[in-house]
Amino acid sequence: MSGRNLLVGPFNRVEGDLEIRLEVVDNKVVAAYANSPLYRGFEPMMLGKVPSDALTITPRICGICSISQSAAAAAALGDAAGSQPAPQGALVAALLHGIENLCDHLTHFNLFFAADFARPAYAERSWHPQALKRFTAMQGSAVRQAVEARAQLLHIVGLLGGKWPHTLAIQPGGVTRAPSARDRIRILSTLTAFRRYLEAELFGAPIEAFVELAGADAISTWSTGDAGLFMEIAADLELEKLGFGPGRYLSYGAYPLPEGRTFGPGVWENGELSPVTTEDIREDLSHAWMLGDENHPFKGQTIPDEDMKDPAYSWCKAPRLAGNAVETGAFARQVVDGHPAALDLAANGSSVLARVAGRLLEIARTQLLLEQWASAITPEAVFMESSSLPEHGQGEGLVEAARGALGHWIQIENGRIAGYQIIAPTTWNFSPRDRRGQPGPVEAALEGAVVGDDEETPLSVQHIVRSFDPCMVCTVH
């Protein structure tokens, strides 16, 4: 038996900074430790402020899922106020949020994830010349087309939300700008242009054809567009056998509209779907550089351990749902929502392939939703109701960011914030071990990854880690 330890970092093409420590025995990872090395302290920062300041401050936790943070803050304040947004305001908020999620998936696939297939290590593979042409970091034709299409799609956020990231347009009562008939038609034309891009480059076919894929085989044999190129690579590298998560999926449900959440909420395990009970969430601090007790986020505190004492190895707390580590993200969301292809993939487990397929599926589905929502904008409607916050109270805001379940929990006393806790998707996925020694989802997924003799920064590890689309700035916040 030959063993060695590897330290992987700076781990780039993830949002923020990440360090992974690996124990490798006989060319296989036997244990992995995920360290979120940055602490900023957004939760203590909020204490004593007026509650509405959360709408300005929390989006700045993250520059890639800023609208998700803003939607969660607005939802938490709305919950505390006991108010509902104007229905058309909720629709525009969903549109803004859906665009961000779509852009994030696109950025992840083209800029963060696929670049690894253009590496010289794969030079002998039949697909490598094509990967080189499309996916080379900053140079690939797919990369340049994607940033261009994304920038144009974000014009919708410019129009309705002023700018991206860090908009203040989403409020508990709705949105701050009432779109006109002219805005609506502009939005639709921007979406049409984006559809043209998706169909020409990413899917190489009508979007509906991808959405309607009903099984794992249909997905993994898709052959057109960059999605097809990825499936060819995935088959060759056997990405369906790499990086299994805990097989327990969490989604709060995405895009709350008056008729319900567009992608349904739930917890899925072994083919069983059950409701999400957020009362069962606890944040374990045993391996985080955090002081205090394990708590539900309504009671939680954030007190960093300045001595960074062992056995902790990350600033990230370890959220657990009824004691269990859960995986969250686009694939989890599609499984929970019951998309047939996602369910079929889930039967085999959440592999690297499944996570990327979930994201591609969601890109296609979200485009269709955005088109529907934009068409449904009624310019005569009210887009913002007034909503007034109580002097004392609490609120929970649950949304789905591109990377999965995001929750904000606020306590208000004497008109001021007395408690603010955030659990981001990557807090779930990249949590460290808990007091029972149960690893976080990515730590579990890395066990068994193959490491070549001369590899310092193993490729298999990179594929697995990036398949989760981690957002490290959100993780600890």
Partner 1 sequence: MNVLWLQSAGCGGCTMSLLCAEAPNVFDLLEGAGIEFLWHPALSEETGAAVRRLLEQVESSEVPLDVLCVEGSIVTGPRGTGRFHMLSGTGRSMLDWVRNLAQKAQHVVAVGTCAAYGGITSAGGNPASAIGVQYDGHHNGGALPADFRSRSGLPVINVAGCPTHPDWVTETLMLLASGSLSAADLDTLARPKFYAEHLVHHACPKNEFYEYKASATRLSEMGCMMENLGCVGTQAVGDCNIRGWNGEGSCTRAGYPCINCTAPEFEEPNHAFTETPKFAGIPVGLPSDMPKAWFMALASLSKAATPDRIARNAVSDRIKVPPKQKAGKT
Taking CB under 8 A as the criterion, which residues in 278-297 touch partner 1? none
User: Residue 380: CB partners within 8 Å, gap ≥ 6?
Assistant: none
Which residues, numbered 444-463, are part of the site for partner 1 (CB under 8 A)? 456-457, 462
Answer yes or no whether residue 154 interacts with partner 1 by CB under 8 A: yes
Residue type, 311: P
User: How many CB atoms are closer than 10 A to CB 130?
Assistant: 16
Query: Is residue 363 a contact partner of residue 91, using CB atoms and an 8 Å limit?
Result: no
Query: Is residue 473 a contact partner of residue 63, using CB atoms and an 8 Å limit?
Result: yes
Kindly tell me which of 137 and 235 has the beta carbon lying closer to partner 1: 137
Kindly tell me which of 337 and 469 has the beta carbon lying closer to partner 1: 469
Answer yes or no whether residue 376 interacts with partner 1 by CB under 8 A: no
Tracing tokens 């995986």 back to the chain, one arrives at 327
- Interface residue with partner 1 among 30, 31, 132, 168 (CB under 8 A) is 168
Answer yes or no whether residue 131 interacts with partner 1 by CB under 8 A: no
Kindly tell me which of 56 and 192 has the beta carbon lying closer to partner 1: 56
Half-sphere CA count of 435, side-chain side, radius 13 A? 8
Give the three-state DSSP class for 263: strand
Q: Which stretch binds partner 1 (CB under 8 A): 10-18, 292-300, 351-359, 432-440?
A: 10-18
Can you tell me the distance from the alpha carbon of 127 to that of 26, in angstroms, rounded to the nearest whole number?
A: 29
Answer yes or no whether residue 390 interacts with partner 1 by CB under 8 A: no
Answer yes or no whether residue 269 interacts with partner 1 by CB under 8 A: no
Which residues, numbered 308-327, are part of the site for partner 1 (CB under 8 A)? 308, 315
Answer yes or no whether residue 119 interacts with partner 1 by CB under 8 A: yes
- Interface residue with partner 1 among 71, 115, 276, 464 (CB under 8 A) is 115
Give the three-state DSSP class for 151: helix
Which residues, numbered 195-254, are part of the site for partner 1 (CB under 8 A)? none
Kindly tell me which of 176 and 324 has the beta carbon lying closer to partner 1: 176
Helix residue spans in 50-140 (DSSP H): 54-57, 66-81, 87-107, 128-135
Answer yes or no whether residue 162 interacts with partner 1 by CB under 8 A: yes
Kindly report the backbone phi and psi dihedral angles of residue 95, in degrees, each rounded to the nearest multiple of 5, phi listed first. -60, -50
Which residues, numbered 28-87, are part of the site for partner 1 (CB under 8 A)? 35, 37-41, 44-50, 52-53, 55-57, 60-64, 66
Termini Cα distance of the chain? 40
Shortest distance, position 395 Cβ to partner 1, whole Å: 17
